[in-house]
Amino acid sequence: MVNCVQPQPCTILNVHKESKHEWTFRVATDVKPAHGQFMQLSIPKIGEAPISVSAQGDGWLEFTIRSVGKVTNVIFEKTAGDTLFLRGPYGKGWPVDALKGKHVVIITGGTGLAPVRSLLTMMAETPDFAKSVHLISGFKNEEGIVFQKELDAWKDRFHTIYALDNDEKEGWRTGLVTTFVKEIPFDSFDGNYAVLVVGPPPMMKFTGLELVKNHVDPLKMWMSFERKMSCAVGKCGHCRIDETYVCLDGPVFPYTKARELVD
């Protein structure tokens, strides 16, 4: 019997510095998560942290990590050849089957791009998967931009709007992602669309409100809540919001449920 909470030692294959505080670690493993699921990354005697899978391939997974605490700070000391411990995958991912053949709209804030990166890569490599893909991706400033290589490549594959909250950058817009929701041609989709939103909680809240304001059907929207998860198996209660356990019932939720998840 497989122990669902037993970490496995895995070798770091590569470390790529996306920005000052966000690095991507490629780790050797044969685990095959669904798009939007997460893994628990740990270091013995230090602790563990839930991290979304930002890319995957044969024999490896990538995790884009922000250095924000004890565990992630120690992970940032690791280099290629070192060991990380992984367990998982956990949670419910994006509704991939429900996206096929639809106009897919994805709106991200900051490192919220990481949980949809593998899905975007799949759609870029499978042009007939969706009728169209519209991507709005915003960052606080230029220093916080991640996945620059992919962002450039996706311009040729998708309808893209890239924005910085306040800064100016050539080829980029200035403003919050909510500013650009009205530019998505929902009226031309004949109701055949799906919307995915992921980012900081305030960004998701106001993006959801803006989408509804623009007559987007709440039943066709999903959000990812990676909030305060700890054990990943619903035992510690750390991520519980009322009767909902984010690690078990999410992290991806239909918007009709996500809009109720308020602490």
What digits encode the pLDDT tens for the residues 203-238?
A: 999 999 999 999 999 999 999 987 667 777 777 877
Sheet of 173-174, strand order = 173-174, 159-164, 132-139, 103-109, 193-198, 221-224, 252-254
Q: What is the model's pLDDT at position 169?
A: 92
Q: What is the dihedral of CA 88, 90, 94, 97, to 10 degrees?
A: 80
Q: Which amino acid is at 148?
A: Q
Strand partners, 10: 84
Q: What is the model's pLDDT at position 227?
A: 63
Stretch 54-81: mean pLDDT, rounded?
93
- CB contact at 8 A, 140 and 165: yes
pLDDT at 126 over 80: yes
What's the mean per-residue pLDDT of the chain? 92
pLDDT at 134 over 60: yes
DSSP-derived pairing of the beta strands 38-43 and 83-90: antiparallel
